[in-house]
Amino acid sequence: MTIIVCDHIHEKGLDILASDSSIKVINAADEPKDILLEKFIPQADIAITRSSTNIDDSFLERAHKLKAIVRAGVGVDNVDIPSCSKLGIVVMNIPTANTIAAVELTMAHLLSCVRKFPYAHNNLKIDKVWRRQDWYGSELKGKKLGIIGFGNIGSRVAKRAQAFEMDIMTYDPYINPCKATDLDIAYTTDFNDILTCDIITIHTPKTDETINIISDEEISRMKDGVILINCARGGLYNERALFNGLKQRKIAMAGIDVFDTEPAIDHPLLDLDNIIVTPHLGANTKESQQNIAIQAAENAISSAKGISYPNALNLPIKESELPDFLRPYLELTQKIGHMSAQLAKSGIQSMRLTTYGEVSEHIESLSTFATVGVLKESLGDQINYVNAKHVAKDRGMEIEKDISESDTGFKNIVTVRLTTQNGSVFKISGTVLGDSAQRIIGIDGYELELEPKGQLILFKNNDEPGVVGDVGHIIAQHKINISDFRLSRDGKGQALAVVKSDGIITKELLSDLEKLEACISVRSAIL
């Protein structure tokens, strides 16, 4: 599979791509766009892009092999998602890598607006004028902050605002109110409540519902001297209404990082003396760019191998409509399904998905991802999230779903159990630790903790002395380094070792391991 890097990303992402010997990487970021389209895009199975490359008709008509696009960033304004969907191209973005950068930029704008630091700076540094009396500001303490949108960014802005002892209220009809109230933050279902605040900041995606969410009417209902902040997306505040409100001093100050049309170098807002502006710096930190590149590279590799499509925007199951905690479980469930099928190496008679915990409310979505994982091993690119269950039915594979009530000590668990046509059964369980740390916690009754990633050898053996050393010795003879070794014993005389290797697992290696006297079975899987 070939991954084309269309635009510049941090070198850490390039290093991750280069380290995977199973894919071909072409870095075309420095190529002129006409050369990129004519020479490189026809070769691409996966493309990594940023805002410099438009995914339009010219791009897509040359993308004969393209299966997925990774937009290294949040915004996908330059991607024709409907056309990609018609062509079966999955579009992914990186929605959380720049979270902290955007949060801290918002706080910078908050402080700049109440203290007018940029203007005071220019007065002293450029005009060489020392007039402290001209720069009396206000304090954040005790001010009422209205936050529109309480997702990854809005909620973190709230936590930081609490440190300034602000009075905080949020409006977000798509969250559980407890997400706010558990943090001692007021939650309202009435948007008019937000308009009574001293300072208003917005942290929502750009949708039909949120475009112009603040316009003339809303501004007229705000208190005189309100401060508005927008470090999210251009167009959430109506720019004409914003200009008028600032000019009339209804709005005392505004902190704006994003505009309807960018670059906004000749914009009427720039002529006003009560606005702080930055040129779309929301993701412009070294840490953010590194995180974006790392996630983009990892997502590109996962999609190239057909393992998963993290943060896909055009799948039948819309991740944006699912709770945040569920997303790593969707990916984990597909990985478990894929791993189970690799271990089975036989026709699948049935798949049973068992869930425990609050993930059970989404068992249908999890079942779709599990089915894709199972069928990916035999059907490769022919299987997707749209046709998975139809294909399973045509192949005579039963899909069963079950919700467990047994307390296992974990908050949530997903288990995929495969029964093959020859009667063999394979069962793998997993959970997510913290917010996103995916772990396999059980394989065929053996308890262990394993990150579902990399090239794995599963060695089942009679539990007797010397086996671990023998396994390590044979792997070393094949010039392969062991990056992780997990061992579990069943207490009945047998054990299971899961070995993660840095090198490619060959048939010869598996054959040599199988010759060990203590060996019961040897299998491999790639995740």
Q: Which residues contact 124 (CB under 8 A, 6 or more apart)?
A: 130
Are the CB atoms for 79 and 90 separated by under 8 Å?
A: no
Are the CB atoms for 231 and 282 separated by under 8 Å?
A: yes
Task: Identify the sign of the CA torsion 375, 377, 378, 382.
Answer: positive
262 in catalytic set: yes
Whether the bond between 452 and the residue before it is cis, its omega within 30 degrees of 0, is: no
d(CA 505, CA 388): 29
Are the CB atoms for 99 and 153 separated by under 8 Å?
A: yes
Query: Which residues are registered as beta bridge partners of 443?
Result: 428, 446
Which one, of 110, 106, 111, 130, lies nearest residue 120 by Cα?
Answer: 130
Catalytic residue selected from 10, 50, 233, 352:
233
Catalytic residue selected from 262, 398, 400, 464:
262
Catalytic residue selected from 280, 338, 352, 486:
280
Structure letter (DSSP) for residue 110: H
Tell me the DSSP string of 290-332: HHHHHHHHHHHHHHHTTS--TTBSSSSS-GGGS-GGGHHHHHH
| Maximum CA extent, the chain | 87
Q: Which two tokens stand for residue 20?
A: 């995977």
Are the CB atoms for 68 and 89 separated by under 8 Å?
A: yes
- Indicate the Cα dihedral angle 275, 281, 287, 292, nearest 10°: 140
Q: Which residues contact 421 (CB under 8 A, 6 or more apart)?
A: 346, 347, 348, 349
d(CA 115, CA 133): 12
Phi, psi of 464 (to 5 degrees): -140, 160
Tell me the DSSP string of 387-398: THHHHHHHTT-E
| Helix intervals (H) in 36-175 | 57-60, 81-86, 99-115, 117-125, 152-163
486 in catalytic set: no
Structure letter (DSSP) for residue 504: P
517 in catalytic set: no
Are the CB atoms for 25 and 5 separated by under 8 Å?
A: yes
Which one, of 435, 442, 386, lies nearest residue 414 by Cα?
Answer: 442
Tell me the DSSP string of 340-381: HHHHH-S-EEEEEEEEESGGGGGHHHHHHHHHHHHHHHHHGG
Which one, of 237, 229, 270, 271, lies nearest residue 253 by Cα?
Answer: 229
* Tokens 């139809």 -> residue: 390
Active site residues: 233, 262, 280
